[in-house]
């Protein structure tokens, strides 16, 4: 079946019983008021644990974004002008959820599929495995391993013709949460930035706790000896004793070392006058960077995960509704929000890739100018 592209095209649908294995469209199929040679391709992966996994490649003519409908609309990687957002996980295949057993290894089964640039943690719960009211919560929840129910390509009719890949991911069980997450990844043809715009709705009849963490992960070339993180930060605090031991170098990175244990910092962002938090990660020579911004109120906390070892050299910069403790701890500290029946919460993040020294400098300066004083660095480990 050939499905021609329109301004709204369905690639997968439970409602319409549609699932396109292979599909593609480009600027020649749907003329837009842009010179960018954009294209969208959907294909299916084969072999090993990735047999049957859907992938979507959204190329805006300058930036390519790969999205995984089979894994809750996670973003595998992003490339712009030779710079790749992503990392080199030892997990090489894009693992079908059928091969993930969340309960494995004391609730760490999520780690068998962890290799994306960005995966959402949540949404009934996120964070470390452990008991909460007698129930084992598994690492980082289910949403990143739920296959997407509705997948759509939506292209704005008006310039600048933003291209949106939308997906509905439904986390539900009987007598449990009924949380519907509409995800969207979008970009304007030819641009060096993209957005994530999600809406989480409690479709249930009772109040429902939720947690969401945008687990975005950056490896080389952005991450290297001398890379640095900037941000509008009010204060930060180490997650454990090992992180506390080097809290003063929280914003810098060293090279990957065999067996060097992860260090995690709990960051309380501040916001500009529009309420937006801003962060930027640049490489050692400050000529390549990614910056991102989002309304602080939507995601009041950010976890900085420094994994400076050779088992997967990566830093997670993870805006969230809380920190990655088990929900039992997050609840104790008031970081587990609640949705009333029918209520929604929106989350919107914009990422921009900077490819030359001037551009990096300008973006870094903009953040510096928002900081009246340096972040308050708290030496003690955060409460548990």
Least distance to its own copies, CB of residue 147, Å: 5
Q: Is 13 in the site for its own copies (CB under 8 A)?
A: yes
Indicate whether 57 belongs to the interface with its own copies (CB under 8 A): no
Residues 256-285 that bind its own copies (CB under 8 A): 258-259
Which of 203-211, 267-275, 326-334, 365-373 is the region at the interface with its own copies (rule: CB under 8 A)? 203-211
Q: Which stretch binds its own copies (CB under 8 A): 166-174, 269-277, 292-300, 376-384?
A: 166-174
> Per rule CB under 8 A, is residue 114 in the interface with its own copies?
yes
Task: Identify which of residues 148 and 291 has a Cβ nearer to its own copies in the complex.
Answer: 148
Strands 233-238 and 376-377: parallel
Burial of residue 229 (number of CB atoms within 10 Å: 0-12, 13-18, 19+): buried
CB of 90 to its own copies, least distance (A): 5
Cα 152 from Cα 278, distance rounded (Å): 30
Burial of 243 (0-12, 13-18, 19+ CB in 10 A): buried
Query: Any residues with CB less than 8 A from the CB of 372 and at least 6 apart, and which?
Result: none
Total interface residues for its own copies by CB under 8 A = 60
Q: According to the binding rule CB under 8 A, does residue 72 interact with its own copies? A: no
End-to-end CA distance of the chain: 55
Nearer to its own copies, 188 or 264 (CB): 264
* CB distance 179 to 200 below 8 Å: yes
Does 24 bind its own copies (CB under 8 A)? Our answer is: no
Strands 83-85 and 118-123, sheet pairing: unpaired
**Quick check: 253 and 277 in contact, CB under 8 A?**
no
C-alpha 98/C-alpha 167 separation (Å) is 19
Using CB under 8 A, pick the residue from 26, 37, 149, 255 that binds its own copies: 149
Cα separation, 250 vs 232, whole angstroms: 14
Binder of its own copies out of 25, 126, 146, 363 (CB under 8 A): 146
To the nearest 10°, report the CA torsion of 122, 65, 285, 249. 0
| Of the candidate residues 61, 86, 204, 322, the single one contacting its own copies (CB under 8 A) | 204
Stretch that binds its own copies, among 39-47, 268-276, 297-305, 343-351 (CB under 8 A): 39-47
Q: 10 Å Cβ neighbour count for 248?
A: 9
Contact residue for its own copies among 220, 295, 312, 337 (CB under 8 A) = 312
Rule CB under 8 A: say whether 334 interacts with its own copies.
no
Q: Which of 83, 56, 59 is nearest to 68 (CA)?
A: 56
91 is a site residue for its own copies (CB under 8 A): yes
Residues 288, 282: contact at Cβ < 8 Å?
yes
Instruction: Choose one: 9-17, 294-302, 317-325, 351-359; the region binding its own copies (CB under 8 A).
Output: 9-17
Q: Which stretch binds its own copies (CB under 8 A): 148-156, 227-235, 331-339, 364-372?
A: 148-156
Task: Tell me how far apart the alpha carbons of residues 82 and 85 are, in angstroms, rounded to a whole number.
Answer: 10
**How far is 368 from 316, CA to CA, in rounded Å?**
21
With CB under 8 A as the contact rule, which of the stretches 47-55, 268-276, 290-298, 327-335 interacts with its own copies? Answer: 47-55
Does residue number 173 form part of the binding site for its own copies (CB under 8 A)? yes
Chain residues that interact with its own copies, rule: CB under 8 A = 12-15, 17-19, 43, 45-51, 89-93, 97-99, 101-106, 108, 111-112, 114-115, 134-136, 146-150, 170, 172-176, 178, 203-206, 258-259, 309-312, 341
């Amino acid at each position: 079946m050939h499905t021609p592209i329109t301004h709204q095209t369905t690639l997968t649908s439970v409602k319409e019983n549609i699932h396109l294995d292979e599909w593609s469209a480009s600027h020649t199929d749907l003329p837009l008021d842009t010179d960018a040679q954009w294209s969208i391709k959907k294909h299916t992966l084969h072999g090993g644990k990735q047999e049957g996994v859907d992938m979507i490649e959204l190329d805006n003519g300058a930036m390519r974004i790969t999205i995984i409908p089979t894994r809750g609309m996670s973003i595998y990687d992003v490339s712009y002008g030779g710079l790749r957002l992503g990392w080199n996980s030892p997990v090489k295949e894009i693992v079908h959820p059928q091969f993930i057993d969340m309960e494995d290894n004391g609730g760490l089964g999520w780690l068998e599929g962890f290799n994306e640039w960005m995966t959402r943690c949540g949404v009934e719960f996120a964070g470390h495995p452990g008991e909460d009211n007698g129930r084992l919560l598994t690492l980082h929840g289910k949403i990143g391993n739920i296959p997407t129910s509705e997948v759509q390509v939506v292209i704005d009719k008006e310039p600048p013709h933003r291209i949106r890949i939308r997906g509905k991911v439904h986390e539900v069980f009987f007598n449990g949460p009924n949380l519907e997450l509409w995800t969207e990844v979008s970009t304007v043809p030819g641009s060096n930035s993209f957005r994530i715009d999600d809406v989480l709705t409690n479709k249930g009849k009772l109040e429902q706790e939720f947690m969401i963490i945008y687990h975005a992960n950056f490896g080389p070339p952005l991450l290297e000896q001398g890379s640095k993180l900037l941000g509008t930060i009010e204060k930060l605090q180490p997650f454990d004793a090992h992180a506390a031991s080097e809290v003063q170098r929280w914003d810098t990175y060293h090279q990957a070392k065999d067996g060097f244990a992860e260090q995690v910092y709990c960051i309380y962002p501040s916001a500009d006058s529009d309420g937006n938090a801003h962060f930027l990660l640049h490489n050692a020579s400050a000529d390549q960077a990614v910056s991102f911004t989002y309304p602080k109120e939507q995601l009041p906390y950010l976890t900085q995960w420094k994994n400076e070892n050779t088992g997967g050299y990566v830093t997670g910069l993870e805006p969230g509704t809380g920190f990655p403790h088990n929900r039992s701890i997050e609840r104790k500290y008031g970081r587990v929000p609640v949705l009333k029946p029918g209520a929604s919460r929106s989350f919107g993040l914009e990422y921009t890739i900077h490819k030359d020294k001037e551009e990096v400098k300008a973006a870094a300066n903009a953040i510096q100018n928002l900081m009246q004083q340096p972040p308050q660095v708290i030496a003690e480990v955060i409460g548990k």
